[in-house]
Copies of this chain bind each other. A is one copy, B any other.
Amino acid sequence: MALGDLERSVMDLLWDRPGPHTANEVRDTLAGDLAVTTVLTVLSRLEKKGLVQRDGGRRPHRYGAVSSREDHTVGLLNEVLGSVPDRQAVLARFLGGIGPDEAAAVRRLLED
């Protein structure tokens, strides 16, 4: 599920700042001057997409990211890789394109 610009900004905010947030906090932290209802709409859509979870126990409700930015991004990577018949071939081209420093890092990451 692709994200729009504002949805993305909200997710970035939730990822960057720890803990659950109220809609008003999100609005105050976001750039620009949005209405709270706008933020609430976006948060609801993100919730429906499974990216945000809401604590609706007490008011105001608190919102937080369901998974980390890294896990979410890995999901995107696998989605992209799933759209292709030869995953290996793509990885080959990808690895061929990364710099030597990053290649070393990848090698290091594979020790386990």
| A→B interface (CB under 8 Å) | 2, 8, 69-71, 73-74, 76-78, 80-81, 83-84, 86-97, 102-103, 105-107, 109-110, 112
Taken together as a complex, chains A and B put the C-alpha atoms of A76 and B77 apart, in Å, by 9
Instruction: Please state if B92 and A109 are interface contacts (CB–CB under 8 Å).
Output: yes
Chain copies in the assembled complex: 2
Residues in B neighbouring A109, C-beta threshold 8 A: 91-92, 95-96
Q: Which interface residue of A81, A94, A96, A105 has the most chain B CB atoms within 10 A?
A: A94
- Can you identify 25 A-B contacts, CB atoms within 8 angstroms? A2-B2, A8-B83, A70-B89, A71-B93, A73-B83, A73-B84, A73-B90, A74-B90, A74-B93, A77-B80, A77-B81, A77-B90, A77-B94, A80-B80, A88-B102, A88-B105, A91-B105, A91-B109, A92-B109, A95-B106, A95-B110, A96-B109, A103-B110, A106-B110, A107-B110
